[in-house]
Amino acid sequence: MAKRLILMGPPGGGKGTQAKRLQERYGIPQLSTGDMLRAAVKAGTPIGKQAKAVMDAGQLVSDDIMIGLIDERLDQADCKAGFILDGFPRTIPQAEALDKLLASKNMKLDSVIEVQVPDAKLVERITGRFTCSTCGEGYHDTFKQPKKAGLCDVCGGTTFSRRADDNAETVAARLAAYHAQTAPLLPYYEGKGLLHVVDGDRDMDVVTADLEAI
Ligand code: AMP
């Protein structure tokens, strides 16, 4: 049976890491709108050009652009068996548009999972993170250094990168956007009987086990 999930939670709460694990475990794709936008910025597409300044300011890209991106993505063959939405929807209009899109594609959401992490933990989590530029493996200055300094544990790559928006000022704006625009989706999905809550302020493997149980 298809599995269609939304992972919700604040920036830096571990959605991306956990979505990648679920993708491997269940063979359904992680649909990260943040990754899609970063790829568009890198490729210099019209959407990328429009989105860059908004992302650098820690604000939200327009609902129309985001809904268009997801509409196209859901039509790709790898979404037939399900998907894990990571970073979408982020506003009530996006959630309402998603409901319509899914209905028109004869798809039904199974669960919405909120990965909860207190604000006080998020700034350190976000500002310390970096990834292998070759394979995308995630690391952290304090919590997860590569075993050998400068060498990726997974692929042996030697270049690492940090997101342009992972700095203290932008993080504050991203958190404010989360609380003002995205947190209202929690009662929205609770009202539909779809919401599950997982404590994300624990060891990564324990969080994964809880997600798998759901
Ligand atoms: P993320 O990788 O999910 O933290 O997203 C990085 C940035 O991309 C966000 O701070 C927003 O500027 C933008 N973004 C990603 N997904 C969305 C979305 N669903 N709606 C609006 N903006 C988004």
Burial of 161 (0-12, 13-18, 19+ CB in 10 A): exposed
Assess contact for 73 and 86: CB atoms under 8 A.
no
Distance from the CA of 61 to the center of ligand 1, in angstroms?
Answer: 7
For residue 2, what pLDDT is reported?
78
Of 116, 105, 131, 104, residue with least CA distance to 34: 131
Regarding the beta carbon of 90 and ligand 1, being less than 6 Å apart is answered yes
Residue nearest to atom 2 of ligand 1 (CA): 34
For residue 205, what pLDDT is reported?
96
Which residue is it, tokens 């039509």? 75
For residue 38, what pLDDT is reported?
95
Regarding the beta carbon of 21 and ligand 1, being less than 6 Å apart is answered no
Where the chain has pLDDT below 70, the residues are none
For residue 1, what pLDDT is reported?
75
Residues linked to residue 72 through DSSP beta bridges, in sequence order: none
How many Cβ atoms from other residues are within 10 Å of residue 170's Cβ?
20
**pTM of the complete model:** 0.94
Q: Is the dihedral of CA 45, 46, 47, 50 positive or negative?
A: positive
- Which pair of structure tokens corresponds to residue 43? 């490729």
- Which pair of structure tokens corresponds to residue 53? 């300044």
Best of 31, 47, 61 for a ligand 1 pocket test (most atoms within 8 Å of beta carbon): 61
